[in-house]
Amino acid sequence: MTSDVIKTKELTKVDPVFGQLSFDDHEQVVFCNDKDTGLKAIIGIHNTVLGPALGGTRMWQYATEWDALNDVLRLSRGMTFKSAITGLNLGGGKAVIIGDAKTQKTPELMKRFGEFVHSLSGKYITAEDVGMETSDMDLVREVTPYVTGISESKGGAGNPSPITAYGVYMGMKAAAKYKFGSDNLEGKKVYVQGIGHVGESLVEHLTKEGANVVIADINEERLQHVSNSYGATIYRGDDLYAEQMDIYAPCALGATINDDTINKIKAEVIAGAANNQLAVEQKHGAILQDKGIVYAPDFLINAGGIINVYAELEGYGKDEIIRKTENIYNTTLEILENAETNGVTTNMAALNIAKGRIEDRKSQNSK
Ligand code: NAD
């Protein structure tokens, strides 16, 4: 699975940046190249009306540079709305490093990347995403203060993934309450696709509550580890989307709800951590709505991580992190009800509120 299903051929037909399918009035896109370390990175700054653009760095072996550009444009846009709907004074940004995190990530490369982040003077603040560890952020911290998600021993809030998972769990419970009339997940069949940093922690919450959890991953070692640790069932089929389930939790990469999968999905609720789950927001959001599938918007329920790293900037502690993350339950319910009242998709309802907050700030700033 690449991060997006939009084909390279389609991407190359348009102008390189401003004409990209995923370009949505991004403020700045920075291409970073360093021959000595092999660094090839793109930093996307979508919007800084509410504050500095904060968002993680993803290291991934993209099939083409177009895919990387498309990913950073989509991801950085998502961060703008994630922070806006969560009530944080942050803008949206994201970075991608092109390469294999297992074999091409070196301390020198991470520090060089940090220098590029530093050159933006705080307009973009980084953190970890797929392919990154807290220790990588510690390396970046050696060359710039514009980084979050650093180790607790170095004064940071530590790995954000468990908090992200807790927020997803809260959002999932709210969606269950809306769809099934109860937020109790005991006995519910939940498929967790991708059991990395966030997925594993989500499985822990779900199995504790007595959900019937099925796990899927391309990494056999992780499957064995998570299955042994929490008693989850390993999925061995070849078409997860077509399986009968109550809840589908996408926790790997984005765009898994797309033209190929959407008509197969039998889940009644979709709630997961992955960013940009809908390949084409409006189209796929509307089809889910027509099918009566409750979609908990990804950028709303996976905000635990950003809440956690924001604590490093604002200086609030664990209690406040948990309180803000638990509030995802209330916000999710409000958004689902708002979507029904206004006859829009759940994704659109969440986007409208996020955009409203940005517009309000813009008009305050211009007074
Ligand atoms: P991770 O790299 O630790 O885990 C991803 C897992 O997905 C890996 O185990 C990988 O093997 C698996 N995977 C990849 N392709 C797959 C496929 N085709 N089928 C099944 N499994 C597959 O990443 P993570 O930090 O757990 O993040 C997961 C998702 O959540 C990402 O989309 C990320 O952007 C998003 N997210 C993460 C955070 C966070 O705090 N880490 C916050 C917000 C959003």
> What SS3 string covers the chain?
CCCCCCCHHHHHCCCCCCCCCCCCCCCEEEEEEECCCCEEEEEEEEECCCCCEECCEEEECCCCHHHHHHHHHHHHHHHHHHHHHHCCCCEEEEEEEECCCCCCCCHHHHHHHHHHHHHCCCCEEECECCCCCHHHHHHHHCCCCCECCCCHHHCCCCCCHHHHHHHHHHHHHHHHHHHHCCCCCCCCEEEEECCCHHHHHHHHHHHHCCCEEEEECCCHHHHHHHHHHHCCEECCCCCHHHCCCCEEEECCCCCCECCCCCCCCCCCEECCCCCCCECCHHHHHHHHHHCCCEECCHHHHCCHHHHHHHHHHHCCCHHHHHHHHHHHHHHHHHHHHHHHHHCCCHHHHHHHHHHHHHHHHHHHHCC
Same domain assignment for residues 219 and 126: no
User: Would you state the pLDDT for residue 8?
Assistant: 58
Same domain assignment for residues 294 and 336: yes
Given a cut of 60, whether residue 32 has pLDDT beyond it is yes
State the total domains in the chain.
2
Same domain assignment for residues 185 and 284: yes
Given a cut of 70, whether residue 315 has pLDDT beyond it is yes
Given a cut of 70, whether residue 91 has pLDDT beyond it is yes
Percent of the chain with pLDDT over 70: 96
Same domain assignment for residues 214 and 114: no
Residue 15 belongs to a domain? no
Same domain assignment for residues 150 and 234: no
Same domain assignment for residues 195 and 116: no
On whether the CB atoms of residues 190 and 214 are closer than 8 A, the answer is yes
Same domain assignment for residues 151 and 285: no
Report the greatest alpha carbon distance in the chain. 59
pLDDT band at 11 (very low <50, low <70, confident <90, very high): low
Among the three residues 105, 125, 159, which one is the final residue of a domain in this structure? 159
CA distance 16 to 26: 13
Residue 8 belongs to a domain? no
Same domain assignment for residues 267 and 312: yes
pLDDT band at 365 (very low <50, low <70, confident <90, very high): confident
User: Would you state the pLDDT for residue 3?
Assistant: 46
Is 94 part of the annotated catalytic residue set? Answer: yes
For ligand 1, mutation pick of 217, 276, 301, 312 (most atoms within 8 Å of CB): 217
Report CA(54)–ligand 1 centroid distance (Å): 19
Query: What is the spatial order of strands in the sheet that 212-216 belongs to?
Result: 233-234, 212-216, 189-193, 247-250, 269-270, 294-295
Same domain assignment for residues 200 and 308: yes
The ligand 1 atom at the shortest distance from the C-alpha of residue 159 is: 40
User: Would you state the pLDDT for residue 302?
Assistant: 97
Residue 44 belongs to a domain? yes
Same domain assignment for residues 338 and 207: yes
CA distance 324 to 167: 9
Residue 367 belongs to a domain? no
For ligand 1, mutation pick of 94, 218, 276 (most atoms within 8 Å of CB): 218
Report CA(33)–ligand 1 centroid distance (Å): 26
CA distance 103 to 97: 13
What are the φ/ψ torsions at residue 324 (nearest 5 degrees)? -65, -40
Residue type, 113: F
Which residue's CA lies nearest to atom 23 of ligand 1? 130
Q: What is the CATH number of the domain that holds 216?
A: 3.40.50.720
Same domain assignment for residues 179 and 148: no
On whether the CB atoms of residues 109 and 329 are closer than 8 A, the answer is no
The residue range of the domain holding 286 is 162-355
Q: Is 252 in the pocket of ligand 1 (CB under 6 A)?
A: yes
Given a cut of 70, whether residue 223 has pLDDT beyond it is yes
Residue type, 237: G
Q: What is the CATH number of the domain that holds 135?
A: 3.40.50.10860
CA distance 199 to 161: 9
Given a cut of 50, whether residue 21 has pLDDT beyond it is yes
Distance of CA 139 to the CA centre of its chain: 23
Q: Is 281 in the pocket of ligand 1 (CB under 6 A)?
A: no
Given a cut of 90, whether residue 20 has pLDDT beyond it is no
CA distance 16 to 28: 14
Report CA(340)–ligand 1 centroid distance (Å): 30
Among the three residues 159, 177, 197, which one is the final residue of a domain in this structure? 159
CA triplet 295, 252, 130: central angle to 5 degrees? Answer: 125
**Helix pair angle (304-314, 161-180), 10° resolution:** 130
Residue 16 belongs to a domain? no
On whether the CB atoms of residues 311 and 317 are closer than 8 A, the answer is yes
Same domain assignment for residues 137 and 209: no
pLDDT band at 22 (very low <50, low <70, confident <90, very high): confident
CA triplet 148, 172, 55: central angle to 5 degrees? Answer: 20
CA distance 188 to 201: 17
Among the three residues 159, 179, 199, which one is the final residue of a domain in this structure? 159
User: Would you state the pLDDT for residue 4?
Assistant: 47
Q: Is 78 in the pocket of ligand 1 (CB under 6 A)?
A: no
Q: Is 202 in the pocket of ligand 1 (CB under 6 A)?
A: no
For ligand 1, mutation pick of 2, 74, 136, 197 (most atoms within 8 Å of CB): 197
Catalytic residue among 9, 13, 40, 94: 94
Segment 76-86 mean pLDDT: 96
Residue 362 belongs to a domain? no
User: Would you state the pLDDT for residue 1?
Assistant: 42
Residue 4 belongs to a domain? no
Residues near 26 by Cβ (< 8 Å), separated by ≥ 6? 44, 45, 46, 47, 73, 76, 77
What are the φ/ψ torsions at residue 147 (nearest 5 degrees)? -150, 140
Residue 166 belongs to a domain? yes
